[in-house]
Structure formats: C-alpha cells, structure tokens
Amino acid sequence: MLKNRAYYRSQAIINVVMVLISMLFVLPLILLISSSLTDAEALKDGGYSLIPRSFSLAAYQSIFSNPQQIIDGYKTTIFVSVTAALAGTFVMCLTAYPLSRSYFPMKKVYNWFIFFPMLFSGGMIPSYIINTQYLNLDNTYWIYILPALCSTWNVIIIKTFFLGLPNEIFESAKIDGASELSIFFRFVLPLSKPVIATMALTTLLGKWNDWNTALLYIRDTELYSLQYLLQRILREAEFIKQMSYNTEINMGMIDVGSQQAAPEVIRYAMCIVAAGPALCIFPFFQKYFAKGLTVGSVKG
Amino acid sequence: MKKSIKLIAAVLACVMVLGLCACGGSQTATDTDGEVTLKWLTAGPGKQKDSDLVWATFNEKLAEKMPNTQVEIEALPFADFAEKWRLMIAANETIDIAWSGYAVNYTDEVKKGGYLELNDLLTQYAPKLYKSMPEWVWDLMEVDGKIYGIPCYQMMASRPAGFKVFKEDAEKYMDYKTLEEELLKKSEAGNPVLSEKAFDVIENYLLALNANGVPNKGFAPYNIAFIGEAEAQSDYGLSSPVNTVYLEYDETGRPIAKDGCAPDVTDVFYKRMAGIYQKGLIRKDVLTASDIRADEGVIGGYAMWYHAYDKFTEQQESLQIGKDIKVIHGEEKYIRPTGPAATNNSLPRSCSNPVRAMQFLEVLNDPADTSLYNMLVYGIEDKHYKKVGDNKIETLDYVGSPTLDSGYGIQKWVIGDSFNAYMTQGDVEGYDEYVKTDMNANAVAGNMEGFKFDKTPVKTELAQIDSVRKEFYGLRYGTYTDWQAKLKEYREKVQKCGQQKVIAEVQRQLDAWYDAQNK
C-alpha cells in the first residue's frame, strides 16, 4: 500500500514535470495559431492571448488574396520534397548497403571519399559555380532535388543500421543463390523500415523548410518554394521598413509610403500556412522516428 | 596511414590549383563591334507577370537606337540583392551593369575590386549623362579619386529634420515658436543636446494634451537620439563619424573631437527623458515594442515625432494622414551628404563590354527621349499605364511603388535619372522641379565634407562601445528610475571599451584631413 502510494506520487511528479516541459513547446504554437486568428488592431493594443480576443480571418484572406503564388509554391514544395525524400532515401540506401558489407573490396576508399567531404566541403561559392556554370541547374526543379540526394551523415546512419542486421540472413540468402540486388530489395529494405522512414522524413522536412536554395538559384516566381515565397514577402517588407528607418535622412525620394510592412498577424498566419502540413504529417511517422533515431547508436 | 596522408596531400593540392584557376578568369574585352547582349542585374520588386513582355518590347525599341545591342535584365528583389550579388560576383558571372545602391556597401565593394573605374568611360561615351548631374554629386561617388558608380539622379541633398505635430493641437497647446528657436540654435551651434527650455516646451505640450483630453500616445521614441546624444551631429552635416564622439570647432575652424560620454555633456537629455517617461508621456513598452514607428503620423497616435522634411512635407503628409500637420523646423539648409548616393549603377569587374554598357546607359538616360527609360519603369502604355497629359500618366494596377503582384513596374530611382520619369497620380506637381533646382542646386557643403573616417584602427573598440550603447538604450528613453546610477555605469563601461583611444584616433584623422585641406 505504502509502496503503491510512493509509486503514484513519483509518477505524478514525473507527469507534472513532463506536462510542464511539453507545455513549453505546445504553448507557443497555440499562441501562434491564436495570434494569427486575431484582429491586427486588437493584437497591437492588447498583446497576445491564448484565445483570440477578437476573431478575424483577415490575415489569411490577405495571404490568399493572390492564391496563384501560394498554389505554385505548394506545388513546387510538395513535388520537390516528396521526390527528394523518395529518391534521396533510395540513393542513400543503395550507397550505404555495399559499405556495410565486409567483403566489399573498395570499402575503405569509398568510405573515405564519402566521409572526407563531410568534414571539408567546398563551401557556398564553389558549389554555386558548379551548379550554375557547369551543371546549369539554376532556375530548374533539379537544383532542389539533385544536390540533396545523398547526405553523408544519413548514409553513415543507414550504414550503421545495416551493420546491425543479423549476418545469418545474408549468409542463408547467399546459400540459396540470391544476388546482392535481391538481398538488398528482399531482405535489407523490408527489415530497415524504421531507418528508411526516419531518413525519408528528415529529408522531407529538410526540403519542406528549405528556402535558401530558392534564394540562391531560382529566378522565376513559379519555381519559388513555399518557404521562400513566404520568407520573401516578409523579408521584403522588413527590409524596406528597415532601410527607410535607418537612412531616413539620406534616402531622398525613395518613397516607402505604399510599401507598408506586413503586420505581425500576417506573419503568424504565414507560419501556419507554411508549417501546417508538415505538422500534420509528423505524427504518422512518429512510431518509426523514435526507433530510427536510436538505431545508429547500438550495434548488434 | 602514410598512404592516406599522401592522398590527402594530393587532394589538397588539386583543390588549391583549381582555386587558382578560378581566380584568373576575368575578361577584359572592350570591342565595340558586333552583336552584344548586355546583362543588367538590377533591383526592384522582383520578376513580375509581364516582365518578360516588357523587356522584349524594350529590346525592340532599343534596336532602333542601338542596333546590335540587346539587354538581358535580371531584377532581383531588394531584400535578396546583396546576397545574390555577392555570390554572382564571387563566381565571376558575367554581369555588364549592376545596381550598386544602398543594399550593398558601395565603398567596400569598390575596395574589394568589384566595380570598374568609370572616369574615362563617362567622359568619352556618356558625356550627356556626366553633365546631367552637378560636380559635387560625382564627388560623392569617388573612392580614392575615382568614380565607380553612376548615381540614379534624384534628391541628392540631405533633408533637414524637425518635429512634426498636429497643427490644430500645436496651435492650441504648444509654444512651438520657442521650440523652433531652440532647435535652430542647437543646430547652429552644433550642440549635441537640446536645451532645457526646449524640453520644457515638449513636456508642457504633452501634459496639456493629456489635461485637455486630446487622445494621443505621447512622445515618439524613434530618432530620439537626434535631440540628445552625440550622434545627433551627423544630422546637420557636422558629421561626427562615431556615435559617442562629437565635434567642436576652434577659432581657426579646426575640428576637435570631444567625448560624447564625458560627464555633463548629455546629462540634461537623460534627466529630461527620465522625467518624460515617469510622467507617462512616452510609451511604457518602448524598449520591447517591435515597431515603435507604427503610431507616427496616425490620428490618435504619437503627439510629436522627429523626422526629415522639406518644403512639400506639410502638404504631402497632411494629405496622407488626413489631418493637417505642422513641421517645426530644425535647420534651414540643405546639406550635401558625405556618403555615396543611395542608388547607383556600376559596371562590375566581370563586365564583358564596358564601352557598350556605358553607351547604353547614355541612351537610356537621354533627357531628349525618355521613352526607353519610362518603359523600364512603368511598362507598356495602355497595358500598365494610361497617358493623361504630356508628361503625366496614371499607373493602372498600383499607386506609388510597384510590388511583386503588379503587372509590371520598377522603382524609377533604380533604373536611372528619375527626373526623366513621367509624373504619376502619386506624385506632387512641382516637386521634381523643386528638388532639382532648389534642393540639389542650392545644397551646401557640410563642415566635414570630404572627410571619410577609416574605422579599421579602432574596429574592436567601436564594436564594444556599440554593444554597450545598446545595453543602455533605456537611458535615452528614460526608462530607468535610477537613471543617474545607470548613466554612471554606462559611462564607466564605455571608457573601459577604449573610448579614449577612439577619440584620439578620430582626432588624428581629423588633423590629417584638416592639414591637407589648409596647406
């Protein structure tokens, strides 16, 4: 009885702590959603609250007032992140598999080739030169997808997971006459669902949140990724505001009258529009995710 | 192990060789014959719906004037311009003309070798363009005696700054004549701080508004340093190069650098601001508010705010706000700025044909035929604008500044000489004329014209001082109840950051400059 009570008490304490910690993550999100649904004036005067003080959809209306751009942005982002996630995971698994086999002759050399650029990469300007002047990838969908196909770090994680698969499976498959490819497709891939799901999800989210690629390489509005589009609307407003503030006295005729900065409400609404779908996808992957994250750490 | 070291060495060697190759590839072709396509990297709202159409039409028209020349325009959004420009020039991409306005640091880019020197090209291939601007405007663009940028001609002189108030309220409750006198006195003498008398007027006005129930949000915090800290001087062409240093002049006119953080210099300002804050005359959340300017020029917003003005300001802003405002003058002169113009075009070092690029700019900015320029700015007639007068148009899908959503439109001050632009429904009649003949022509040199402070010797000190200043922003808004203790702490900290070294460095450079001027 006494033991029971102590048990419940400790459980209660742990739960309370966990609830508090999760509140730290959940509350800002709720605040964000509620702020995006608040009337702009009310937000300015009254500050933030968990329940919108005066409900208004104006921010969303103004974002979707030019829906074509947002639709294009969604199209680009969905296509790019799904393609990159699927193709990327596949390529990374294909890369990792031979590296995980002890009898692969060139293992050391390839390992080194893959590992070295992770530590010493060329940097932004050389990759920009390669992508634009030699591969001509700029201003196409390819720039989003191709450079993201193979991430060294992910290859190492996948490789470690493959190393953990029981060796007996490979031996018996070999004895039964399976080729390396059929071992890969019929045994390795089905057994590696957690790590595949994890890698697919991280690539998907990475690509979903990526705005830098579009900033550097994309010129046509139709090819803007969603994040970049939203980022741009905000940055443009912010930038013009800042410029007009800082150099007021020397700006001359540069007129900023009609370029009002996007009010805060619109920013929050943009966050929701941009992050929303990714938030919804996450729970479906979660059961794999936790497992996939730990796979790199334990062998055997 | 040995093998792998060898391998690493080999790879590194390859990388270095490749790196060297990449650096040596700049082109110096200057031929003027044959088909040329000039690449023009400009800024604006970004590529719009009809951009391609307008640019194609532009090239057709251009062919009539400059056969064999085509222009390929890339319009980057202002916010992205600096980043993309840096990347493109580092990658040595061919760019024939590039905007070099406020988004990039003109002087830094020149020092890095980003732009070609233009003196000879200008006089030889663009004489009309060269003559269209006064000599002092070109002087602004000089770095070590050479010109690297062609200003997009517009308002070049600095506008003075003063207080703006609502006319009706000020006439009832404010002794604005005294305030104006005190402001003018301050700028005349180059004092860093406004007098107590002026603060009395401000405080009494705000109190009177509250006592009489006039809805207002008090004293606008933005630009407040201009009435009470050393940095105020930059406002009046007295140009202290450092925020915590102010200048005085001895009887021979030699500038003397003074410690802006010495006791008593700015005490009045901090004392009065603390008083204003404690009486509730400035917003309580001034240190944390995200946009302290949102209530400027709004009915029921701030009661007074400090800003640049000119002859047309009262008329223009009263219209915008919907209530008459009054400007309390702070200075009667237009001062020539000391830095480069805010918006220019340059020929990058990767320019493939500088002669043709310069010839093109001459044609584009020709005041005798402004149709090319105006097409790039406003688009195509009857599609993007309607002609309503000889030189007057109405833009069809925006008023004022075009945006990404407009069919087409680029800010006139990005493309070229903005005095060649058609007047739109957003412009005030007579304003251009006033700017050109009154402001630009009559602008006077500031006391420190030609002096450029080189920050490198005291870079670390300045960075440290700057972070201390930010830490104590509460002083200038008066938010500390124990402002005297805080002020003492602030001053001690600034001195520890090497304030004296900074002052000595400023003085050293001032002396060198002054002696060179008065040989």
- Residues in CB range of A292: below 8 A, 6 or more apart: A194, A195, A197, A198, A199
pLDDT at A247: 41
In a domain, A74, yes or no: yes
Grade residue B422 by pLDDT with cuts at 50, 70 and 90: very high
Q: Are residues B164 and B308 in the same domain?
A: yes
In a domain, B3, yes or no: no
pLDDT at A261: 41
pLDDT at residue B500 tops 90: yes
**CA B169 vs CA B125, B147, B158, B206, B366: distances in Å:** 56, 49, 29, 10, 48
**B223, A248: Cβ pair inside 8 Å?**
yes
3-state helix, strand, coil in chain A (%, to 5): 75, 0, 25
- CATH number for the domain spanning B292: value is 3.40.190
Q: Are residues A211 and A168 in the same domain?
A: yes
Indicate the DSSP class of residue B219. Answer: B
pLDDT at B158: 79
Give the span between the Cα atoms of A224 and A144, in whole angstroms.
Answer: 10
Q: Are residues A188 and A274 in the same domain?
A: yes
- Residues B8-22 have pLDDT tens digits of 555 555 444 444 444
Q: Are residues B438 and B459 in the same domain?
A: no
- Residues B26-74 have pLDDT tens digits of 333 444 568 899 999 999 888 888 999 999 999 999 999 998 999 999 9
State the helix-helix crossing angle for A107-119 and A67-100, rounded to 10 degrees.
140
- Residues A172-194 have pLDDT tens digits of 888 988 888 899 998 888 888 88
SS3 string, B135-197, reads: HHHHHHCEECCEECCEECCCCCCECCEEEEEEHHHHHHHCCHHHHHHHHHHHHHHCCCCCCHH
In a domain, A233, yes or no: no
**B102, A247: Cβ pair inside 8 Å?**
yes
In a domain, B21, yes or no: no
Instruction: Write the burial class of residue B237 (CB in 10 Å: 0-12 exposed, 13-18 middle, 19+ buried).
Output: buried
Q: Are residues A36 and A85 in the same domain?
A: no
Q: Are residues B227 and B258 in the same domain?
A: yes
Q: Are residues A93 and A128 in the same domain?
A: yes
Please give the residue of chain A at the shortest CA–CA distance from B312.
A253
The SS3 assignment for A46 reads: helix
Q: Extract the residue ranges of chain A whose pLDDT is less than 70.
A: 1-3, 44-45, 236-263, 285, 287-300
Q: Are residues B146 and B177 in the same domain?
A: no
In a domain, B508, yes or no: yes
More confident residue, B392 or A278: B392
More confident residue, A288 or B353: B353
- CATH number for the domain spanning B46: value is 3.40.190.10
Token reading at B281 = 């005359």
Q: Are residues B49 and B137 in the same domain?
A: yes
- Residues in CB range of B207: below 8 A, 6 or more apart: B279, B281
Q: Are residues A284 and A150 in the same domain?
A: yes
Interface mutation target, options B18, B42, B102, chain A, most CBs of A under 10 Å: B102
In a domain, B288, yes or no: yes
In a domain, A238, yes or no: no
Q: Are residues B470 and B431 in the same domain?
A: no
Give the span between the Cα atoms of B283 and B217, in whole angstroms.
Answer: 7
In a domain, B370, yes or no: yes
**From A39-48, A180-189, B388-397, B469-478, the region with the lowest mean pLDDT:** A39-48
Distance from CA of A283 to the nearest CA of B (A): 34
Grade residue B504 by pLDDT with cuts at 50, 70 and 90: very high
The SS3 assignment for B381 reads: strand
Q: Are residues A28 and A167 in the same domain?
A: no
Cβ–Cβ < 8 Å for B227, B476: no
**B77, A252: Cβ pair inside 8 Å?**
no
Cβ–Cβ < 8 Å for B439, B333: no
Q: Are residues B190 and B320 in the same domain?
A: yes
ipTM value: 0.70
Q: Are residues B436 and B316 in the same domain?
A: no
Domain count, chain B: 2
SS3 string, A61-85, reads: HHHCCCHHHHHHHHHHHHHHHHHHH
Please give the residue of chain A at the shortest CA–CA distance from B313.
A253
- Strand (E) or helix (H) holding A138: none
**B400, A258: Cβ pair inside 8 Å?**
yes
Distance from CA of B479 to the nearest CA of A (A): 20
In a domain, A128, yes or no: yes
Please give the residue of chain A at the shortest CA–CA distance from B439.
A252
Please give the residue of chain B at the shortest CA–CA distance from A237.
B79
In a domain, B19, yes or no: no
Token reading at B25 = 């590839």
Q: Are residues B435 and B462 in the same domain?
A: no
Q: Are residues B225 and B346 in the same domain?
A: no
pLDDT at B424: 85
> In which domain, by residue range, is B420 found?
28-158+340-443
pLDDT at B126: 94
Q: Are residues B132 and B237 in the same domain?
A: no
Q: Are residues A78 and A25 in the same domain?
A: no
- Residues in CB range of B83: below 8 A, 6 or more apart: A215, A216
Of B251, B255, B209, the residue nearest B233 (C-alpha): B255
Q: Are residues A147 and A202 in the same domain?
A: yes
**B413, A253: Cβ pair inside 8 Å?**
yes
Q: Which residues of B touch A124 (CB under 8 A)?
A: 87
Q: Which of B45, B93, B308 sits opposite A249 (nearest CB)?
A: B308
Distance from CA of A258 to the nearest CA of B (A): 6
> In which domain, by residue range, is A121 found?
67-223+262-295
Distance from CA of B404 to the nearest CA of A (A): 9
Q: Are residues A119 and A142 in the same domain?
A: yes
Token reading at B420 = 């060649």
What average pLDDT does chain B have? Answer: 85
Q: Which residues of A touch B439 (CB under 8 A)?
A: none
Domain count, chain A: 2
Q: Are residues A27 and A104 in the same domain?
A: no
In a domain, A281, yes or no: yes
- Residues in CB range of A36: below 8 A, 6 or more apart: A59, A60, A265, A268, A269, A271, A272
pLDDT at B37: 93
Interface mutation target, options A125, A231, A249, chain B, most CBs of B under 10 Å: A249
Q: Please state the φ and ψ torsions of residue B218, each to the nearest 5 degrees.
A: 80, -150
Q: Are residues A156 and A267 in the same domain?
A: yes
Give the span between the Cα atoms of B169 and B208, in whole angstroms.
Answer: 10
- Residues B256-277 have pLDDT tens digits of 888 888 888 888 899 999 999 9
* The last residue of a domain, from among B393, B423, B443: B443
Token reading at A52 = 């919108």
The SS3 assignment for B510 reads: helix
- Residues B302-342 have pLDDT tens digits of 999 988 888 888 887 887 788 899 999 988 788 888 778 88
Q: Are residues B121 and B174 in the same domain?
A: no
Give the span between the Cα atoms of B285 and B269, in whole angstroms.
Answer: 20
Indicate the DSSP class of residue B66. Answer: S
In a domain, B264, yes or no: yes
**A239, B78: Cβ pair inside 8 Å?**
yes
Q: Are residues A180 and A38 in the same domain?
A: no
Please give the residue of chain A at the shortest CA–CA distance from B335.
A250
